[in-house]
Amino acid sequence: DAEVVLVGRSNVGKSTLMRELTGHDFSTGGKPGVTRQPNHFDWASESFMFTDLPGFGFMSGVEEEHREAIKTNIVRYLEANADSILAGVVVMDGKAAVDIIDRHTERGNIPHDVEMYGFLEDIGVEPIVAVNKTDKIDDLDERLDEICDRLGLYPPWQQWSDRIAPMCAKRGDVEALEECLRTRFHEHNRDDL
C-alpha cells in the first residue's frame, strides 16, 4: 500500500476530508493527538492507506507539555516511515492560515504549518498542501498566492498545482487533491519499474 499521511492544526477539516476520501466516519471522540489510526482506503483500483496524524500545532485546552509530546510522536512516526510514505498532506484552513502564519512569524516563532511543510521536505516526503474551506474565501487566487509565498514557493500558485490543492471538503469538492495524489501514485509506480 502507498501510505498518505494527513497533518494539520485542529479544526482545519482533516476528519471531514478523511470521510470524503474514504466514505468512512473517523470521528474519534475528540482527543487530539492521542489516537493515530491507520485507515485503509481503496480508491479507483489503487490502494491507499490514509493515516490521520491529528492535532499538530495549536490544540485548545491541551497543555503545552502534552502538545510537545504529541508533536514529538508525529515527527517520530514520520521519520520512521518516511521511505514508505507517498505523500504528506498538510491540511490548512484557507481562510485563517495566512493570518495565523503571519502572527506566529511576527512573534518570532516558526508557524506550525510552515514548519511541518519544511520538515516533510527534509525527510524526503513530498508535501501536498490541501487548502480547505475555499467556500469561505472571496479572492481565492490571491489567497493561494499568499500561501505559496509563506511556504517559499514563487507565485502564481498555478505553477504549483502538483502540490497546492484548493478544496472544499464539506461540499465534497476534493478533486484537486485527488489529482495530486493520483499523479504521485503513478510517478511512484513508474519509479518502481
CA distance 148 to 162: 12
Of 104 and 133, nearer to ligand GDP (C-beta) is 133
Of 14 and 184, nearer to ligand GDP (C-beta) is 14
Of 27 and 45, nearer to ligand GDP (C-beta) is 27
Q: Which of 3, 4, 7, 15 binds ligand GDP (CB under 6 A)?
A: 15
DSSP β-ladder status, 46-53 and 38-43: antiparallel
Q: Pick the stretch among 37-45, 106-114, 115-123, 129-137 that binds ligand GDP (CB under 6 A).
A: 129-137
Q: Pick the stretch among 37-45, 75-83, 163-171, 182-190 that binds ligand GDP (CB under 6 A).
A: 163-171
Q: Which of 1, 2, 11, 28 binds ligand GDP (CB under 6 A)?
A: 11
DSSP β-ladder status, 46-53 and 85-93: unpaired
Of 85 and 177, nearer to ligand GDP (C-beta) is 177
Nearest distance in Å: CB 130, ligand GDP: 10
Which residue has 498518505 as its cell numbers?
4
Beta strands in the chain (DSSP E): 2-7, 38-43, 46-53, 85-93, 127-132, 164-166
Nearest distance in Å: CB 180, ligand GDP: 17
Of 51 and 185, nearer to ligand GDP (C-beta) is 51
Q: Which residues pair with 88 in a beta bridge?
A: 5, 127
Q: Is 14 in the site for ligand GDP (CB under 6 A)?
A: yes
Of 91 and 120, nearer to ligand GDP (C-beta) is 91
Nearest distance in Å: CB 16, ligand GDP: 3
Q: What are the two backbone dihedrals, phi and then psi, of residue 96, each rounded to the nearest 5 degrees?
A: -105, -20
CA distance 79 to 142: 34
Nearest distance in Å: CB 51, ligand GDP: 14
Amino acid letter, 154: Y
For ligand GDP (CB under 6 A), the number of binding residues is 15
Spatial CB neighbours of 17, under 8 Å, sequence gap ≥ 6: 6, 91, 130, 132, 167, 169, 174, 177
Amino acid letter, 14: K
